[in-house]
Amino acid sequence: MSTIIAVAGKGGTGKTTVLALLTGYLLKKGKRPILAVDADADANLADALGLSGDRSLSTIGKAREDFFQTKGEVPSGMPKDAYFELKLNEVLIESRDIDLLIMGRPEGVGCYCFINNILRKYLETLGKNYPYVVIDNEAGLEHLSRRTTNDVDCLLIVSDYSLNGLRAAARIRNLAQDLKLNVKRFYLIINNAPSVLSEQFLHELGKLDIEVAGCVPEDTLVPQYDIEKKALLVLPEDDPAVVSMEKIARKILI
């Protein structure tokens, strides 16, 4: 059974950063191979994991769109679903420790049920090959709500150090509950946090009823690596963001 960990939070709060730091922790603990799924339309997980290189990366959205445009015409003698699965296999970006699937643009107008059903089964089967599946999401939880991604063991909601961020985090948790997503555990992570949280912030935090997994401090190297498109997996071991993720991971990985 694989453990599925997903991040959510409004744009720019540090979802991709948190997920990449957690992936780095898992690799350090020998939990490989990892399947990473970038389900954010602003896909940048490949960069954070050092998997983009110079190539242009294919996405599931593109494969789905191509398949949809051809009206499901497939080479003769091949079942439609087998052909689409073949196309999905071509999208998987493989590396030594991490394989990456980029969901890409959301679907256009039309009925994608047939394709999404194949995609769901494909992801379910694929996921079984990995002890850990990590998923970068967008605030609207689109992929989770369409059930194209699996049930989630751990949903990490990332907030910045602001009351607005906390309110957004609460909305995301409520959305996940309203959508009746199968999330086993919710955690909140405060990113870009100061070393001491203010009384007022802690008071508001207490009202949320989401377990706090921990804080990631503002880090000097993280934005620098981001600009240089350097993988966050190679941050020094004593980097404050890496150290904070170790603490968080020990708390959430039970």
19: phi then psi, degrees, rounded to nearest 5: -65, -40
Q: Which is nearer to ligand ADP, 51 or 216 (CB)?
A: 216
Closer by beta carbon to ligand ADP, 26 or else 216: 216
Question: Is residue 246 within the footprint of ligand ADP (CB under 6 A)?
Answer: no
Binding status of residue 218 toward ligand ADP by CB under 6 A: yes
Binding partner of 223, given Mg ion, ligand ADP, none, CB within 5-8 angstroms per partner class: ligand ADP
- Per DSSP, the residues of 67-81 read HHHTTT---TTS-HH
User: Applying CB under 6 A, does 159 fall inside the site for ligand ADP?
Assistant: no
Phi, psi of 187 (to 5 degrees): -135, 150
Contact 219, 241 (CB under 8 A): yes
Q: Which residues lie below 8 Å from residue 160, measured CB to CB, with a gap of 6+?
A: 12, 13, 14, 190, 191, 192
Please give the residues from 28 up to 67 whose contact with Mg ion meets the rule CB under 5 A. Answer: 40
Picked from Mg ion, ligand ADP, none, the partner binding residue 192 (CB below 5 to 8 A depending on kind) is ligand ADP
The closest alpha carbon to 135, from 183, 193, 173, belongs to 183
Does the footprint of ligand ADP cover residue 222 (CB under 6 A)? yes
Binding residues among 178-197 for Mg ion as defined by CB under 5 A: none
192 scored as a contact of ligand ADP (CB under 6 A): yes
Residue 88 binding: pick among ligand ADP, Mg ion, none (C-beta 5-8 Å cut-off by kind): none
Residue 143 within binding range of ligand ADP, rule CB under 6 A? no
The residue to which tokens 């409004």 are assigned: 10
Q: 136 with 72: CB under 8 angstroms?
A: no
What angle do helix axes 80-91 and 60-69 make, rounded to 10 degrees? 150
Footprint of ligand ADP on this chain (CB under 6 A)?
Answer: 9, 11-17, 44, 191-192, 216, 218-219, 222-223, 226, 241
Footprint of Mg ion on this chain (CB under 5 A)?
Answer: 15-16, 40
